[in-house]
Structure 1
């Protein structure tokens, strides 16, 4: 679906659907064209009417772009991502792409799927005329800000999951925690691949010196950059914590294995003299086994006293 918002100073604005209202802006005009689920014909029309670069238009046809900023002669092309956290912990982290063109007097946003963050900004521009007067670059800042805060909330939910995994691992060294640990590591790696490049995109936008982002807009994008930097640092911190949790889990499993082996070794050591006593006195030779009740009770006493003595000795050496 294609929607257009024309912004003229002192005049009311409304969103119009269809291609009929799409054209390049005249002096004193600004226009925001928002497209969701674009077709090849719609992109070709936008390319023709706004003189968009064909390489950038071709990128819009493929929903597999990494976050980036490309500067062309008459426009900027930007790609940002919205994190999509599945409800199942075992499922990989997903994302939705937002492509944007910023040029002289126009903003074009292209969504592979309708994003609520863009819908909210569209509605705010209609209800708050002062926001429209700040121009299309400010409108793009509002979209970036909402995407950044949504991604931060999504990361917080992921961090809460990691804390739950950490608590369960430290309480019980169970191999069932390994799939959850590795799934969380994969999600963190995917989040880092999306968030860190977006930080670089906004940083390049501030450092590019392009005329499309004037000095009035730069402080706002610095706020977005600050949020993205905090997200990047939080991801790195959580990755380190998750690695430590994995090391702790492996250490607990190793200690549990060592305890089991120690118990089995001590049990074998206890039964070793018993095996010797019963094997020796159980031989079928003359005078063996003893045909004497007292000696029988003596043998039984040895079988009881030797393990008891070994247990006392093990405890004195703090092996038990």
Structure 2
């Protein structure tokens, strides 16, 4: 499947609001996980159905319900019916190529983001994260099991920080904070190698290094593809007029905005740096080619008069007076050495050798 643009053949001809899964199926069956907490208690469970999630939400406190695996459209429909999610929202959840965005509704806010992670082959992968943020309920939808929220879960379990004393919008902000910090970590890992390329480009350019530069340009382009709309989404969320993200959330949204700006600027920086590496590589290779051409040109120039002399005395004319002399052969070589040596000395004085 294409990394930069996913096919939407299944959605062709469908009306707006049609809940159709678009993307790669990454799990055998969906998995529901629920964390319900208040300042005193924490409860974790894996409910069997969306109805069980509704029941957990009715017991008070803050509820974080997470669905791993989006290919079962019937579960999304049940979430829509149980929590009054519009069909257009469910359509965005099921479409894993959805552009990051933030939208405010009457009772909740919908956020679509991208989580980045780095594979063992240094290839960047992206996964869609969708959120429906209510005052005391946070619904998150992921493509597969495994995310960057272990630190947040640990803070909830241990009661460290303010997360247990806050509501669902704060929890959503904490999750987005983890997403952006992980994006920065991915960029930092790529950046370490990109910065190291600078000396190699100047000292030891090779076809393998050129291939690596192009690989990293592709990965940075992939990161920028997701970070630019992520940055727009965070800025829009910071300007939200929803009561869910009121004045008490402004400091946390400002910090999130700073992280988004930092990640986007770092990606732009390394994109430019890779462009500089490529230009430097081409410059070094051009200089090496110029050195080779200069050597060959000087070499050919030295041999032009030597070839002329050898050509003159290599002609098969019968009457050539010099050929009959006893010292003609050593004189010929003396002339050749004198011409060649003199031209070499001259070129060295000129700095051409």
State TM-score, norm by structure 1.
Answer: 0.92
Q: Secondary structure at the match of 1:285?
A: coil
Aligned residue number for residue 111 of structure 2: 78
2:327 aligned residue: 294
Residue of structure 2 in register with 1:143 after alignment: 175
Match of 2:148 in 1: 117
Contact 1:29 1:105 in 2 (8 A): yes
Q: 1:159 aligns with which of 191, 208, 220?
A: 191
What residue number does 1:248 align with?
Answer: 280
| Partner Cα separation in structure 1 for residue 32 and residue 128 of structure 2 | 17
Corresponding position: 1:67 with 2:100? yes
Deviation at 1:319, TM superposition (A): 0.9
Distance 1:37 1:120, change over 3 A: farther
CA distance in 2, matches of 1:30, 1:12: 11
Q: Does structure 2 retain, via aligned residues, the 8 Å contact 1:174–1:253?
A: no
Distance 1:144 1:115, change over 3 A: farther
| Contact 1:165–1:180 (Cα < 8 Å) also in 2 | no
Q: CA deviation at 1:301?
A: 0.3
1:265 and 1:81 map into 2 onto residues whose CA distance is: 57
Q: Are 1:4 and 1:21, in contact at CA under 8 Å, matched by a contact in 2?
A: no
Q: 1:46 aligns with which of 58, 79, 93?
A: 79
Q: Indicate the residue corresponding to 2:42 in structure 1.
A: 13
Identify the residue that residue 303 of structure 1 maps to in structure 2: 336
Structure 2 equivalent of residue 98 of structure 1: 129
Mapped pair 1:271 → 2:303? yes
Superposed, 1:96-245 pairs within 5 Å as: 96-128=127-159, 131-245=163-277
For 2:37 and 2:81, locate their aligned partners in 1 and report how far apart those are by CA, in whole Å.
21
Contact kept, 8 Å, 1:31 with 1:106, in 2: the verdict is: yes
What is the alpha-carbon distance in structure 2 between the residues aligned to residue 69 and residue 227 of structure 1? 17
Tell me the secondary structure at the aligned position of residue 76 of structure 2: helix
Distance in structure 1 (CA, Å) of the matches to 2:352 and 2:200 = 29
- Tell me by how many angstroms 1:225 deviates: 1.4
1:28 to partner: Cα distance = 6.3
Over 3 Å off, 4+ runs: 5-8, 24-30
TM-score normalised to the size of structure 2?
Answer: 0.84
Distance 2:52 2:42 in 1: 13
Cα offsets for 1:86-120 (capped at 9, x unmatched):
3335x4x2212211011243210111122342344
Q: Is the 8 A contact 2:63 2:137 kept in 1?
A: yes
Shift of 1:51: 0.3
CA distance in 1, matches of 2:117, 2:37: 32
CA distance in 2, matches of 1:4, 1:139: 14
On the 8 A contact 1:31/1:105 being kept in 2, the answer is yes
Q: Distance in 2 between matches of 1:225 and 1:112?
A: 25
Deviation at 1:27, TM superposition (A): 10
Distance in 2 between residues matched to 1:187 and 1:313, nearest whole Å: 52
Report the Cα distance in structure 1 between the residues aligned to 2:345 and 2:150, rounded to whole angstroms. 76
Question: How far does the alpha carbon of each residue in 1:239-260 deviate from its partner, in whole angstroms, 9 at most, with x for none?
Answer: 2221111111111111111111
Q: 3-state DSSP class of the match of 1:84?
A: strand
User: Over the residues paired in the alignment, what is the CA RMSD in angstroms?
Assistant: 2.1
CA distance in 1, matches of 2:279, 2:176: 37
- SS of the residue aligned with 1:70? strand
Matches of 2:121 and 2:62, distance apart in 1? 44
